[in-house]
């Protein structure tokens, strides 16, 4: 029913149990594979192959065990029908009954009855098709669907690796974002996306868990009767189209209990909400009491004196760690604890209520040696997190001064050595490595030049094709030892590493408008663009010691470079700190096709130190997934909420353009070369004075600039996210300007 696969040993351990019938234990470097048929709680066709665990009839009567003779003597027994899956008292269909699975009942008056097993959503859909896994790949108008892993002809954020639980396979219709029914991006350049025509299943949908009268998680199971928003507006009835027309109707969302005008969360929002009867407020969130009795916490007000330079760390074995780290030692993103994809597990908030298993944050629910998480990589079940103990006082080393040339050292490793391409061919214990293309003396059909063409598996050189935490390794020519690690030294620090601050940022997910003060110098690529007499008016980003990226509209007042100055290394807008560097602008370049992005060449390179470090740029045409948590920084307008004059930060999610262009948000205004980010309910945004500043996202252990702050409707207004120029679209232009 399942097997454990260990990649290095090339071994499979077969199991008679699976995650539904036995406790799952974690094991390093092993992946659990489970037979799909034993995980399904739905039937295909008449359910003759159903192997789920439903054990009561459609009337709710418990089933009799197939091996028992009371109260009914069965004709179908495990001995007579060994291949029919007649285990325990689970519903089965051993006689190929056209009505589906059934069982003998524990009611002496009823010999047998059918079970209520829903159809698998392959040829039809239940509810809004959230769990549809069929192969329809055309839209209602007959257009062919675009593959989810493709960015042509339409770039998008629904990347399969970012939504592993949404089954975004091939070009099949799916519903990853709470639409009324499955849809897809189309292969027509003139039609970005369209719904698919998938019929509803005729059998009843899966029985939902009992609804709650309080808020748990995102409140998708809230079934209470609160019908007033957080701002006191009365909710509009879900079945009504007045005063606001909408598609969140009981007909489109039949399984979401859209009764009366009660607050609900039918589409995976942050919390329950409703359309309002106020003509000027289309929809708002509701205030629902929390099930744990804590209520909703108001964000603490930051004051500059409290902003300390601290690093996130864990005490002891990290059981009490409650931070927001969400990457492993090898840079893999953590899987959400509430998700069962790509890895099924039993470490849930219900099973470990005191472990604070929120979102995909690193935790230690089982008292391991340090915080860990399941990963979003289907090949790696879990890893320890990229955190250090609070009592680990490793000194921070200053970066070396910039050099004009730096010879690469191929016989040392950076990080875990996954990119090592040197020629060491002996293990740490002196054994000669076996060639990767050879099957002698050790056979291995996984780590070969054919299976891993980009891993550098040449000759018999040490490599790290699986990203092992401990570094490069190889199969050995010793028949008694399959593989060993190689002893390759770490490379010395580079002149600087882009996107890596020397002071850990606060990473606060509050709001620039509400004045979340940054830790000093924790965003060392942030620059202040000023007039020639020193007045701050725009932000920008250091992308190279002599180059700054900003918004083109920041340069509207003058085309003369002498009209501008760039300040670097500052935390306070007054710029009186000794760390401040000031540079004149030598040249300025606006994007030739009028995109809101521009480059500034400084009069001389900035001195790279603890307070001034360039950010990383994304790869050309890189696309952010719709779930990325990113950060905006700046000294902009805080609307009187405090913290003026200090560099502020805020974290919020990137919003897929498809969602951002809905009528209730920005109504089609966001262009292909722009991206959307912000909290839909408002209160968190970049404002005037932050124009040209960076939108950066954490990629493993480095920050990458994906956006240049461009425009928005108002400032932190509900349903009006900020709009940013998509930097990855302009990498060729940026490189050509800097090189020429």
Catalytic residue numbers read 553, 596, 691
Per-position DSSP letters for 190-215, written without gaps between them: T--EEE---PBPSSPPPPPPPPBSSB
Helices (H), 145-268: none
Residues for the chain: how many in total?
A: 740
Spatial separation of the C-alpha atoms in residues 552 and 565, rounded to whole Å = 15
Return the beta strands (E) in 125-233 as ranges. 183-185, 193-195
Alpha-carbon Rg for the chain, nearest whole angstrom, is 29
Q: Is the peptide bond before 733 cis (omega within 30 degrees of 0)?
A: no
Of 185, 224, 180, 225, give the one whose Cα is nearest residue 200.
180
Q: What is the CB neighbour count within 10 angstroms for residue 405?
A: 4
Spatial separation of the C-alpha atoms in residues 379 and 401, rounded to whole Å = 40
Spatial separation of the C-alpha atoms in residues 684 and 653, rounded to whole Å = 11
DSSP 671: -
Which residue's entry shows tokens 């997934």? Answer: 625
Assess contact for 538 and 550: CB atoms under 8 A: yes
Helices (H), 489-642: none
| Residue 312: partners with Cβ closer than 8 Å, 6 or more residues away | 323, 324, 325, 387, 504
Give the sign of the dihedral formed by CA 360, CA 366, CA 371, CA 376. negative
Of 333, 364, 331, give the one whose Cα is nearest residue 347.
364
CA distances from 459 to 77, 306, 371, 421, 450 (A): 58, 56, 38, 11, 13
Spatial separation of the C-alpha atoms in residues 156 and 168, rounded to whole Å = 13
Spatial separation of the C-alpha atoms in residues 686 and 47, rounded to whole Å = 54
Give the CA count within 13 Å in the CB-facing half-sphere of 365.
Answer: 22
Exposed e or buried b per residue across 674-711, where buried means at least 16 C-beta atoms within 10 angstroms of its C-beta: bbbbbbbbbbbbbbebbbbbbbbbbbeebbbbbbbbbe
Compute φ and ψ for 552, nearest 5 degrees.
Answer: -65, -35
Q: Is the peptide bond before 518 cis (omega within 30 degrees of 0)?
A: no
Q: Quote the tokens at residue 534.
A: 């020193």
Of 508, 505, 502, give the one whose Cα is nearest residue 302.
508
Of 244, 249, 242, give the one whose Cα is nearest residue 266.
249
DSSP 143: P
Q: Quote the tokens at residue 19.
A: 């995650």
Q: Quote the tokens at residue 174.
A: 């799916």
Q: Which residues pair with 33 in a beta bridge?
A: 3
Q: Is the peptide bond before 214 cis (omega within 30 degrees of 0)?
A: no
Spatial separation of the C-alpha atoms in residues 130 and 137, rounded to whole Å = 16
Assess contact for 634 and 689: CB atoms under 8 A: yes
Assess contact for 715 and 668: CB atoms under 8 A: no
| Residue 358: partners with Cβ closer than 8 Å, 6 or more residues away | 337, 349
Collapsing DSSP states into helix, strand and coil, what is residue 147? Answer: coil
């Amino acid at each position: 029913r399942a097997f454990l696969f260990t990649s290095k040993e090339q071994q499979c351990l077969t199991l008679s149990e699976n995650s539904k019938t036995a406790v799952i234990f974690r094991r390093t470097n092993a992946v659990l594979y489970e037979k799909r048929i034993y995980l399904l709680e739905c039937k295909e066709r008449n359910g003759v192959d159903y192997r789920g665990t439903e054990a009561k009839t459609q009337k709710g009567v418990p089933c009799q065990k197939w091996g028992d003779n009371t109260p009914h003597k069965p004709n179908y027994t495990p001995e007579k029908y060994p291949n029919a899956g007649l285990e325990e008292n689970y519903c089965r269909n051993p006689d190929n009954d056209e009505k589906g699975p059934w069982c003998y009942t524990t009611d002496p008056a009823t010999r047998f009855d059918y079970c209520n097993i829903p159809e698998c959503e392959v040829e039809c859909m239940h509810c809004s098709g959230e769990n549809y896994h069929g192969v329809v790949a055309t839209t209602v108008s007959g257009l062919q669907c675009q593959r989810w892993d493709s960015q042509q002809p339409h770039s998008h954020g629904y990347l399969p690796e970012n939504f592993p639980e949404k089954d975004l396979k091939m070009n099949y219709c799916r519903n990853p974002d709470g639409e009324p029914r499955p849809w897809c991006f189309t292969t027509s350049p003139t039609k970005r996306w369209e719904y698919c025509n998938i019929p509803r299943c005729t059998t009843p949908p899966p029985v939902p868990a009992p609804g709650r009268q309080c808020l748990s998680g995102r409140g998708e199971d809230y079934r209470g009767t609160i019908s007033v928003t957080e701002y006191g507006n009365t909710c509009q009835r879900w079945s009504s189209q007045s005063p606001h027309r909408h598609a969140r109707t009981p007909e489109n969302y039949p399984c979401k209990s859209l009764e009366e005008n009660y607050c609900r969360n039918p589409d995976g929002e942050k919390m329950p909400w409703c359309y309002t009867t106020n003509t000027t407020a289309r929809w708002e969130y509701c205030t629902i009491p929390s099930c744990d009795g804590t209520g909703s916490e108001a964000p603490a007000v930051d004051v500059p004196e409290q902003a300390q330079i601290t690093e996130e760390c864990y005490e002891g074995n990290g059981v009490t760690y409650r931070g927001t780290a969400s990457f492993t030692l090898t840079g893999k993103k953590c899987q959400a604890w509430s998700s069962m994809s790509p890895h099924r597990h039993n470490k849930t908030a219900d099973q470990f209520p005191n472990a604070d298993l929120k979102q995909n944050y690193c935790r230690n629910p089982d008292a391991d040696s340090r915080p860990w998480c399941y990963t979003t990589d289907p090949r790696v079940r879990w890893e320890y997190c990229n955190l250090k103990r609070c009592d680990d006082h490793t000194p921070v080393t200053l970066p070396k001064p910039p050099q004009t040339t730096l010879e690469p050292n191929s016989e040392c490793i950076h990080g875990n050595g996954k990119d090592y391409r040197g020629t060491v061919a002996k293990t740490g214990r002196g054994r000669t490595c076996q060639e990767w293309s050879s099957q002698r003396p050790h056979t291995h059909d996984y780590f070969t030049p054919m299976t891993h063409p980009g891993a550098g598996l040449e000759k018999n050189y040490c490599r790290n094709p699986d990203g092992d935490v401990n570094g490069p390794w190889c199969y050995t020519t010793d028949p008694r030892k399959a593989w060993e690690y190689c002893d390759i030294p770490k490379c010395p620090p580079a002149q600087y590493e882009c996107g890596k601050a020397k002071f850990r940022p606060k990473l606060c997910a509050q709001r620039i408008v509400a004045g979340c003060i940054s830790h000093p110098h924790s965003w060392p690529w942030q620059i202040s663009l000023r007039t020639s007499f020193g007045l701050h008016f725009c932000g920008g980003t250091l992308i190279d010691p002599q180059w700054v990226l900003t918004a083109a509209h920041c340069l509207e007042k003058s085309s003369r470079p002498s009209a501008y100055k760039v300040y670097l290394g500052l935390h306070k807008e007054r710029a009186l700190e000794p760390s401040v560097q000031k540079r004149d602008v030598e040249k300025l370049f606006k994007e030739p096709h009028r995109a809101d992005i521009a480059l500034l060449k400084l009069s001389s390179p900035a001195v790279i130190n603890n307070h001034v470090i360039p950010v990383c740029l994304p790869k050309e045409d890189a696309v952010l997934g719709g779930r990325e948590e990113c950060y905006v920084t700046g000294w902009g307008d805080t609307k009187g909420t405090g913290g003026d004059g200090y560099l502020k930060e805020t974290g919020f999610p990137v919003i897929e353009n498809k969602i951002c262009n809905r009528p209730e948000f920005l109504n089609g205004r966001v262009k292909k070369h722009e991206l959307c980010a912000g909290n839909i309910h408002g209160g968190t945004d970049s404002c005037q004075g932050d124009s040209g500043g960076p939108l950066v996202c954490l990629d493993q252990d480095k920050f990458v600039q994906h956006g240049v702050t461009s425009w928005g409707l108002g400032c932190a207004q509900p349903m009006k996210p900020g709009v940013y120029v998509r930097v990855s679209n302009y990498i060729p232009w940026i490189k050509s300007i800097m090189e020429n």
